[in-house]
Amino acid sequence: MTEDDIRAVFFKNYAGGDLNEELIICLVEIDWTIVKKLTQGQERFRPDDIINTVLQARSRMCLFEGIEQSAERIIPDLYFDYFDFVLDAVAKVASFLIDNYETLDSWFRTQVPVESLESTRKFVTEKIDEKRYYGNRSFLPREVLFYSLFLNGTLAAIFGKETVNEIIREHNEALPVLKMCGDEALALNNLDPNKTAN
């Protein structure tokens, strides 16, 4: 996608509300555009529900980059909601990968045994249960990285390594443009004379 395409997606979806939520919407739309372009002709074999789950979770994972680089260790509650979404997505996706293991890309199957997927699903399910029953909402930076890699791996399992490398490359090229759009929108919002100073 060109910079103009990415800007058009941002300003179509930007309404001056919660910037993170609007960035999530933009990232999902951009990623779907990339996926559809690079998998044209494979629609019949594309599990759109699972791909949408992956893209929704990946869009939230992108928001964690600022948290990881921050020296501040107080994390807004909203990020725990994002992480809960990611956990639910990873559990759903892991079940899909286990149930459809024999149909997945051969490169993926040589890299990731089904037992590893079962172990991931078990760990994530236990973490979801801890949250549900004990109110334990926590995560470590390495978990964020693992789930990000897992979600990218899911796309490789469906589309193959080469296609996913291209999806990731185009996604990564879009991120700085989208961040710049968000920064510009925030700057304009701060200049709004209708905003009252506290």
The answer, yes or no, to whether residue 189 has pLDDT greater than 80, is no
- How many Å apart are CA 119 and CA 146, to the nearest integer? 13
- pLDDT tens for 138-154 read 777 788 889 999 999 99
Q: What pLDDT score was predicted for residue 144? A: 85
Q: What pLDDT score was predicted for residue 191? A: 59
- pLDDT tens for 11-41 read 999 988 888 899 999 999 999 999 999 988 8
Which tokens sit at 53?
Answer: 């789950």
**143 CB contacts (<8 Å, ≥6 apart)?**
none
Q: What pLDDT score was predicted for residue 151? A: 95
Q: What pLDDT score was predicted for residue 53? A: 96
- pLDDT tens for 48-96 read 999 999 999 999 998 887 665 555 566 778 888 899 999 999 999 999 9
Q: What pLDDT score was predicted for residue 196? A: 45
DSSP of 133-196, one letter per residue?
HH------HHHHHHHHHHHHHHHHHHH-HHHHHHHHHHHHHHHHHHHHHHHHHHHHHHH-TTSP
- How many Å apart are CA 57 and CA 62, to the nearest integer? 9
Confidence (pTM): 0.86
Question: At residue 196, what are phi and psi to the nearest 5 degrees?
Answer: -95, 140
- pLDDT tens for 121-180 read 999 999 888 877 777 677 777 888 899 999 999 999 999 999 999 999 999 999 999 999
- How many Å apart are CA 39 and CA 163, to the nearest integer? 8
Tell me the chain's radius of gyration from C-alpha atoms.
18
The residue type found at 73 is R
- How many Å apart are CA 63 and CA 24, to the nearest integer? 8
Which tokens sit at 44?
Answer: 């019949």
